[in-house]
Chain A
Amino acid sequence: MTGLKNNLTTVDANVLLRLFLNDELIQAKKATVWLARQPASTVLVTDSVLVEVLFQLESKRAYGIERANFMPRLGRALSATAWLLHPVTLEALRIFAATKLDYVDCLLAAMQASGDVSAVATFDKGLQKQLGEAALL
């Protein structure tokens, strides 16, 4: 984790889910009070945690919520000042909200859109469509 500031904290998927859904009141309250105390841009939201969160929100084995019903609100929740999201993550979330791609594919598309990579080698038809000419194979 070199290159990260040591005053950053990060958050696990269970905390993010409780904060967002409030389906377990004690944990949600505890998480809210904690987050409210964090200075601006000091709580890193990692892509690996977002993979879990987005999967559980959509999974029928967990919450089973339609993407269109949670994404605008999740985006708003992630606009709280304490969160710190990488620009590629923000672009991946934008793609996730606008498509049916899973979040990992959205991350690859966001890396390409942000210029981090010029192309993506993939057999995934949905991702190929998103990437256009930047899709290889």
Chain B
Amino acid sequence: MKTVSLTSKNQVTLPAAQVRQAHLKKGTKFTSRWDGKAFILEPEQPLEEMLAEIHAEMRPFIKKPLSDAELQAALHDWPKK
């Protein structure tokens, strides 16, 4: 555990060793929350990475991909079940 200080601009510096340990890169964004006792910083998953995981999980459920024409027709056709 390391001690860090809060600056007048509400900034803290993450300990370098912990940044390396977490494999964080410059520009990484975090979501921050206060749970009443501790601040929790969670690195955000890059969008492309998150969507790739979702696409892989959804693939088995897509029986038939829709072409552009089919999707447009479905969207213009609804709400016929």
Contact = CB atoms under 8 A, between A and B. Distances in A.
Interface in B14-64: 29, 44, 46-48, 50-51, 54-55, 57-59, 61-63
The B contact surface, by secondary structure, is helix
Interface string A68-90: 01100100110011100000000
Contacts of B74: 56, 59, 61-62
Given A24-B68, A66-B61, A76-B54, A52 B78 contact: yes
The 6 closest A-B pairs by CB, nearest first: A23-B65, A22-B55, A62-B74, A65-B61, A36-B47, A69-B61
A17 interface: yes
A40 to B, nearest CB: 8
Given A22-B55, A52-B78, A63-B62, 10 more contacts: A20-B58, A21-B62, A21-B65, A23-B66, A28-B55, A35-B47, A52-B75, A61-B81, A62-B74, A80-B50
A113 interface: no
Contacts of A55: 78-79
A125 interface: no
A76 B51 CA distance: 9
B78 A59 contact: yes
B71 A17 contact: yes
A32 B48 contact: yes
A99 B79 CA distance: 20
Residue picked from A19, A35, A55, A63, most chain B C-beta under 10 Å: A63
Contacts of A21: 55, 58, 62, 65
A109 B30 CA distance: 33
A64 interface: yes
Nearest to B68: A24
